Amino acid sequence: MKRTTVFLFALLLAAASAAGARNLDPHQSQTNDATALYKTAEEHFKNGRYGDAVEAFRNVLQVLPEAAAAHYYLGSSYYKLKKYPEAVTAYKEAIRLKPDDANAHIFLGNSLDYLGKTDEAIAAYQQAIKLKPDDPNPYFEMGVAYYNTRRYEEAIEVYKRGAGVKPDYPKLQFNLGEAYKRLGRNEEAVAVYQLAVAQKPDDAEAHKALGDVYERLQRRPEATAAYQQAIKAKSDYAEAYFGLGNVYYNTRQYVPAADLYKSAVRHRPNWSLGYSYLGDAYFQMERYQEALSAYQEAVRLKPDEANAHYWLGLTHLKLGNRSGAMNEATILKGLKPDLAERLLNHMGR
């Protein structure tokens, strides 16, 4: 599960602005010298010139090594450059100088989490919550850390606490739904996805996720409506076309299913699974030449896709091409021997 880039950048800017040059250091003679350097560095950061910002904030710290705001901003510049070890060092120094900076604890946690140090990250988020218990953001970030390490129950509890702090937080509701879905708690997932789309009606990802769960529950009219809303919100959303195609395929409506799978691969041309499912729809309609082309594209894009090789072999058989089927069986022996045996059984050995 990914963090929300737009939200993080806004939080970085807000925190940095709050930490501004006026808070650099109480020693006025030094501060006057550093203020211009700080403002230049801040402009680099706000305009996305993070490498320049690193150098500029280092210059500030040569003048004012105890300036917590400059250490925070240096860490944030490293963070944007994905230089997480350096970000950790800078954020820790900012926290040493200003222990009550909740945002520094949050971004220290994120940096540690990206380095795979989940328990240390969680400790940082917990400290942020102690400092700012009415801020939903550390709950959100801690939930991401738990989710990404498959600790879904803990992610659910943290997300629920965050939702208690700020009920109107659609991305948090979405993430809570994802954790419920991972545990097969589909009805609970439906409830929070519904809340997410009510809070943010143009959230294509949430509509698509709602459609996925409805399809799991075989509530197909509702799944159809959810996927259609996702496509309305994002007309090139390949996964939403694919999900809607599955609704039709699973109700044996292969013609509209094939049309939707074609839309999916048109918007995501390098998607092996999309071509494989397109092949399945054509195969069910006995349009074997079209199925052959779709399966061939699927295995070209992902040569180790065993199921596509299997169905490609069956399609060769339907077209009377025994040697083509034998070639797929040979490939399957190295990928998935049980499918190779099944294909060979269809061939009568």
Sequence ranges of the domains in the chain: 1-118, 270-349
Alpha helices for 149-287 (secondary structure H): 152-165, 170-182, 186-199, 204-216, 220-233, 238-250, 254-267, 272-284
pLDDT in tens, 97-133: 999 999 999 999 999 999 999 999 999 999 999 999 9
Nearest to 73 by CA among 106, 105, 50: 50
**Percent helix, percent strand, percent coil in the chain, to nearest 5:** 80, 0, 20
Class in CATH terms, 1-118: mainly alpha
pLDDT in tens, 199-225: 999 999 999 999 999 999 999 999 999
> With bands split at pLDDT 50, 70 and 90, how would you rate the model's confidence at 176?
very high
Number of Cβ within a 10 Å radius of residue 267: 18
> With bands split at pLDDT 50, 70 and 90, how would you rate the model's confidence at 35?
confident
Q: What DSSP state is assigned to residue 23?
A: G
Class in CATH terms, 270-349: mainly alpha
pLDDT in tens, 72-96: 999 999 999 999 999 999 999 999 9
- Which residues, in sequence order, are CB contacts of 226 under 8 Å at separation 6+? 207, 208, 210, 211, 214
Q: Fold identical between 1-118 and 270-349? A: yes
> Quick one: how far is CA 271 from the chain centroid?
17
Position 196 scores a pLDDT of: 97
For the chain, state the CA radius of gyration.
26
pTM of structure: 0.87
Gap between the Cα atoms of 102 and 111, Å rounded: 14
Gap between the Cα atoms of 347 and 300, Å rounded: 23
Position 34 scores a pLDDT of: 75
